[in-house]
Amino acid sequence: MSWLHRLRALLHLPRTLRWRLFLILYAGLAAAHVLSFAVLFAERTMSAKATMLTTLEYDVATSIALLDRLPEAERAQWLPMLARRNYRYELGPGLPGRPELSARATEIADTINAAVGSRFPVRVDNIPGEREHLQAHVTLSDGSQVTIDILPQLMPLASWLPYVLAAQLLLLLLFTWLAVRLAIRPLLRFANAAEALDPSGKASRLAEGGPTEVAYAARAFNAMRDRIAHYLEERVQILAAISHDLQTPITRMKLRAEMAEESPEKDKLIADLSEIELLVREGVAYARSAHGDAEKPARIDIGSFVESLAFDYQDTGKSVRCAGLADTVVTTRPHALRRILTNLVDNALKFAGAAEIEVRRTAEGGIAIAVLDEGPGIPPDQLEAVLQPFYRLEQSRNRDTGGTGLGLAIAHQLALAIGGTLTLGNRPQGGLRAEVRFG
């Protein structure tokens, strides 16, 4: 694992593009801003230090020369007038200290020595304490001592400037978030449009406004959607034409076969022609299933709807029963829903001999209709594959029982067309559970 992955795992950074762009932009802008502030602070510190040392050099030289010329009795009254914010003058030897000096203290000592050291002896000591404290001891020409008490204090920036920096970083945070949100919003619209892509539906087209690049991408997406819709239309037309052209010769061949003398070959030929006819019909049904939303929605009582479907099967002697009927009125496309349930029930009857239809409300407030059977089920690694057209399993749900491999594919397409989903799963006690969710 690279150091970047370790850092992401340590900080639990989100993996969305929005957060990544936000963190990159904000980190760069904030670093540049803090660097500018640091450069300003360093420049002001150097300038303040140079000013302090220059002022100290001239002021100390003048003050020591003045005190040296004054009578000893008058020196005390001049001390308050010579004092400054960072240093003041005292008569006497001052406090005991250590000769060890820091880098800044050495610069101050060199400045004082350069100012008065050529005329008067100077010794600079470091006074122990919580903050830096220096004392320069000067011996005047009459032998008396003057102590320069120094408390170095540099204020290169105003005390309110850190608050301004914090306010600027907060503004950067806000506007970076807004900028990233505006930049990501078209991408989210594209993602939502791609996820809900239904070329055969009546959904509104993606808006082609906004910046030039976004408008161009939206036009390209709409053009792609139109091309897919055109290809689907062509598929339906081709299969419809094939069905129309094949049905007449197939019918003629069946009539001729039925008029032939009774023989095993006749029965096989009629069975083959019936299988071809069924395959053509199912192929057209699958192509048209992508356009299942052409049917107008209607309000139905879902419990009565499913119960009537089960009664139709029971009237023909099929073992189909209902369980947990939900007394709920929903708006859906009833013919498409009936075709879905019919395909699922026929599939259960074909491979298990019996089916059970269960209706319930989902936690999200939708409707779930499950068709249950006690057949051999489907291998878990093929639950998704069986929803593809013309896919047939190698186990018992295959050639021995016949079929075109389109029943589940048609149900899957129609479920999408009515705004729902079809999921398959094996039951713990054995058998298959095919569930349609919508609403």
CATH number at residue 73: 3.30.450.300
Rounded Cα distance, 232 and 289, in Å? 11
Tell me the per-residue pLDDT of 402-421, one tens digit each, with 9 for 90 and over. 456 677 888 888 888 888 88
| pLDDT above 70 for 64 | yes
Residues 385 and 412 in one domain: yes
Residue at a domain's end among 103, 120, 150: 150
**Would you say residue 189 lies in a domain?**
no
Query: Do 262 and 384 fall within a single domain?
Result: no
Question: Are both 337 and 408 inside the same structural domain?
Answer: yes
- Given 150, 176, 202, the domain boundary residue is 150
Both 282 and 298 in one domain: the answer is no
Residues 345, 254, single domain; the answer is no
**Do residues 298 and 407 share a domain?**
yes
Residue 355: what pLDDT? 92
Residues 255 and 305 placed together within one structural domain of the fold: no
Residues 6+ apart with CB under 8 A from 166: none
Quote the CA–CA distance of 34 and 38 in Å, as a whole number.
6
Beta-carbon count within 10 A of 362 CB:
12
Q: What is the distance, to the nearest Å, from the Cα of residue 49 to the centroid of all Cα atoms in its chain?
A: 51
Domain assignment present for residue 338? The answer is yes
- Domain assignment of residue 20, yes or no: no
375: alpha, beta or left? (left if phi > 0; alpha if psi -120 to 50):
beta
Per the domain annotation, does 5 fall within a domain?
no
Q: Say yes or no: 249 and 127 in one domain.
A: no
Share of the chain above pLDDT 90, in %: 4
- Per the model's pLDDT, the better-predicted residue between 241 and 351 turns out to be 351
Average confidence (pLDDT) over 19-43: 81
* Mean pLDDT on 393-405: 51
- pLDDT confidence tier of residue 265, bands split at 50, 70 and 90: confident
Domain boundary among 286, 305, 332: 286
* pLDDT of amino acid 231: 80
Is residue 436 helix, strand or coil? strand
Q: Is residue 414 part of a domain?
A: yes
The closest of 119, 114, 120, 151 to 137, measured between CA atoms, is: 120
Is 170 within a domain?
Answer: no
Closest by CA to 282, choosing from 346, 366, 212, is: 346
The reply to whether 253 falls in a domain is yes
Q: In terms of domains, do 423 and 396 share one?
A: yes
Asked if residue 21 has pLDDT above 60, the reply is yes
Whole-angstrom CA distances from 332 to 259, 304, 345 are 47, 14, 19
Structure tokens at 263: 């023989």
Q: For residue 268, what are the domain limits?
A: 212-286
| Terminal CA-CA length for the chain | 45
What is the CATH number for 315? Answer: 3.30.565.10
Q: Is the pLDDT of residue 291 over 80?
A: no
Looking up residue 237, the CATH number of its domain turns out to be 1.10.287.130
In the numeric block, which tokens belong to residue 34?
């803090």
Task: Please check whether residues 266 and 394 belong to one and the same domain.
Answer: no
Question: How far is the C-alpha of 425 from the C-alpha of 43, rounded, in Å?
Answer: 71
Range of lowest pLDDT (84-88, 277-281, 403-407): 403-407
Per the structure, the count of domains in the chain is: 3
Q: Do 132 and 257 belong together in one domain?
A: no
Residue 418 carries which side chain, given as an amino acid letter? I
Look at residue 331 and tell me if it is in a domain: yes
With H, G, I as helix, E, B as strand and everything else as coil, classify residue 356: strand
Residue where the block lists tokens 């919508």: 438
- Residues 391, 302, single domain; the answer is yes
